[in-house]
């Protein structure tokens, strides 16, 4: 039986990158092989074999990856997205990058020019399929994200999370505006906007409270005689919800796995 192994390159080896790597390696039959790992913090890579470490991301094409997966920061897509897509397929999990309309257009255009594909994962979005499939009928999509302030990177917004002592609304408005203010925390909001009715029409509310120890995403969409309500509450470490690493692995294997088995799509 002929089976081509898919070569996967990693950018970002933090909480998600490390876990997804373990998950790929754990299943020998999935038909995927990690061929490079890049992280701007070299100490993150000290336990990896030398031949897996890619010090200079500019050399990524030397590893001949079929798919490059960003699990680092939206800056990576700004700096490298089109360069990568001129050579190979690219999955970027820091979806807030797409709130920049010029970048979104550049990515689209590059994929058409070079015949490559860009992917975004559903990540923290439960029900992305329903949002996407009915994107032409929704009259309104409203998302409320609730988190403890210590798990929100407020640097770009100029807010000190330590100073927040009670329930506080950090943002309430179109999703396009929240992404640059909290780029590491609003990937789920960005993915909901992109899947459904867009960054300008999707309304997002970001609320923090130091009494909370979980992260909540509540989606409400209605239109065309359909009401959709989805809410997930989960533990959170750093900027990442408990369910995210497994969700990202699932997306990587949906795109990259060439192994046997019954595949859900
Ligand atoms: N799509 C989703 O649902 C979703 C959910 C959670 C997190 N995320 C995003 O995924 C990314 C990774 O999350 P995490 O919890 O693993 O974070 P983390 O902080 O644990 O790890 C990020 C890693 O990326 C590296 N990095 C950061 N900027 C870089 C750059 N410009 N170039 C190279 N390396 C860089 C850091 O050194 C670090 O090792 C973040 O951007 C986060 O916002 C997306």
Yes or no: say if 13 and 45 are a contact pair by the CB < 8 Å rule. Answer: yes
Residues 92 and 152 in one domain: no
Res. 261 pLDDT band, cuts 50 70 90? confident
At 263 the pLDDT is 83
* 14 pocket-lining for ligand 1 (C-beta < 6 Å): yes
Residue 194 lies in a domain: yes
Q: For residue 265, what pLDDT is reported?
A: 75
pLDDT at 127 over 80: yes
Residues 105 and 38 in one domain: yes
**Cβ(86)–Cβ(58) below 8 Å:** no
Per the document, the length of the chain is 265
Least confident of 4-8, 17-21, 51-55, 186-190: 4-8
Q: CATH number for the domain including 226?
A: 3.30.360.10
Question: Which residues, 6 or more positions from 7, have their beta carbon under 8 angstroms from its beta carbon?
Answer: 33, 35, 63, 64, 65, 66, 67
Give the number of the atom of ligand 1 that is nearest the alpha carbon of residue 184.
Answer: 43
Domain co-membership, 45 together with 98 = yes
pLDDT at 34: 97
Radius of gyration of the chain (CA): 19
Domain co-membership, 51 together with 151: no
**pLDDT (mean) for 7-25:** 97
Closest C-alpha among 134, 128, 131 to residue 250: 128
Please provide the average confidence, as pLDDT, over all residues in the chain.
95
Q: How many domains are there within the chain?
A: 2
**Segment 37-59 mean pLDDT:** 97
Please check whether residues 159 and 106 belong to one and the same domain.
no
Q: What is the pLDDT of residues 90-122, one digit of tens each?
A: 999 999 999 999 999 999 999 999 999 999 999
Query: How far does the centroid of ligand 1 lie from the alpha carbon of residue 203, in Å?
Result: 25
Is residue 67 scored above 90 in pLDDT? Answer: yes
Please indicate, yes or no, whether residues 15 and 102 belong to a single structural domain of this protein: yes
Read off the pLDDT of residues 180-236 as tens digits, 9 standing for 90 and up.
999 999 999 999 999 999 999 999 999 999 999 999 999 999 999 999 999 999 999
Residue 3 pLDDT greater than 60, yes or no: no
The whole-number average pLDDT for the span 30-34 is 93
Residue 263 lies in a domain: no
Residues 145 and 225 reside in one and the same domain = yes
- In this structure, the answer to whether residues 135 and 26 fall within a common structural domain is no
Element (H, E) at 222: strand 214-223
* Mean pLDDT lowest among 2-11, 61-70, 174-183, 211-220: 2-11
Cα(121)–Cα(152) distance, integer angstroms: 21
Position 208 in a domain: yes
Question: 71 in ligand 1 pocket by Cβ < 6 Å?
Answer: yes
**Residue 2 pLDDT:** 43
Identify whether residues 232 and 161 lie together within a single domain.
yes
Q: How confident is the model at residue 264 (pLDDT cuts 50, 70, 90)?
A: confident
Looking at the chain, the whole-number percentage of residues with pLDDT higher than 90 is: 92
Q: Residue 109 is part of which domain span?
A: 6-124+244-256
Q: Note the pLDDT of residue 259.
A: 80
Enclosing H/E stretch for 252: helix 244-256
Check: CB of residue 201 under 8 Å from CB of residue 130: no
What is the reported pLDDT for 204? 98
Domain match, 142 and 229 both: yes
From 10, 11, 15, 16, give the residue whose CB has the most ligand 1 atoms within 8 Å, as the site to mutate: 16
Average pLDDT score over residue span 65-73: 97
> Does residue 234's CB lie within 6 angstroms of at least one atom of ligand 1?
no
The structure tokens 């960054």 sit at 199
Domain contains 174:
yes
Residue 1 lies in a domain: no
C-alpha 185 to ligand 1 mean position (Å) = 10
Considering the domain architecture, whether residues 117 and 19 belong to the same structural domain is answered as yes
- Domain at 43, CATH number: 3.40.50.720
> Whose CA is closest to atom 8 on ligand 1?
94
Residue 262 forms part of a structural domain: no
195 C-beta closer than 6 A to ligand 1: no
**Is the domain of 132 the same as that of 117?**
no
| Domain presence at residue 76 | yes
Phi, psi of 87 (to 5 degrees): -115, -35
Q: Is residue 94 in contact with ligand 1, taking CB distance under 6 Å?
A: yes
Q: Would 98 be classed as within a structural domain? A: yes
Q: What is the pLDDT of residues 36-47, one digit of tens each?
A: 999 999 999 999
Q: What is the pLDDT of residues 231-255, one digit of tens each?
A: 999 999 998 999 999 999 999 999 9
């Amino acid at each position: 039986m002929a089976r081509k192994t898919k070569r996967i390159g990693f950018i970002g080896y933090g909480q998600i990158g490390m876990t997804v790597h373990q998950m790929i390696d754990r299943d020998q039959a999935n038909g995927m092989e990690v061929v490079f790992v890049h992280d701007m913090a070299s100490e993150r890579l000290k336990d990896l074999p030398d031949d897996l470490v890619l010090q200079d991301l500019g050399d990524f094409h030397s590893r001949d990856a079929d798919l490059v997966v960003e699990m680092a920061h939206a800056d990576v897509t700004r700096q490298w997205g089109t360069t990568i897509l001129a050579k190979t397929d690219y999955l970027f999990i820091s979806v807030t990058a797409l709130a920049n309309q010029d970048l979104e257009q550049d990515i689209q255009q590059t994929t058409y020019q070079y015949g490559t594909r860009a992917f975004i994962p559903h990540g923290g979005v439960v029900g992305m399929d329903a949002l996407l499939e009915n994107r032409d009928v929704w009259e309104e999509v409203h998302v409320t994200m609730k988190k403890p302030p210590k798990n929100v990177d407020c640097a770009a917004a100029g807010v000190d999370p330590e100073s927040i002592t009670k329930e506080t609304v950090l943002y309430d408005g179109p999703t396009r505006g929240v992404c640059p203010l909290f780029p590491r925390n609003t990937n789920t909001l960005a993915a909901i906007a992109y899947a459904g009715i867009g960054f300008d029409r999707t309304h997002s509310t970001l609320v923090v409270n130091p009494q909370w120890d979980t992260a909540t995403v509540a989606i409400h969409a209605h239109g065309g005689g359909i009401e959709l309500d989805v809410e997930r509450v989960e533990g959170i470490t750093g900027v990442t919800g408990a369910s995210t690493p497994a969700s990202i692995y699932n997306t990587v294997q949906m795109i990259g796995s060439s192994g046997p088995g019954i595949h859900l799509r």
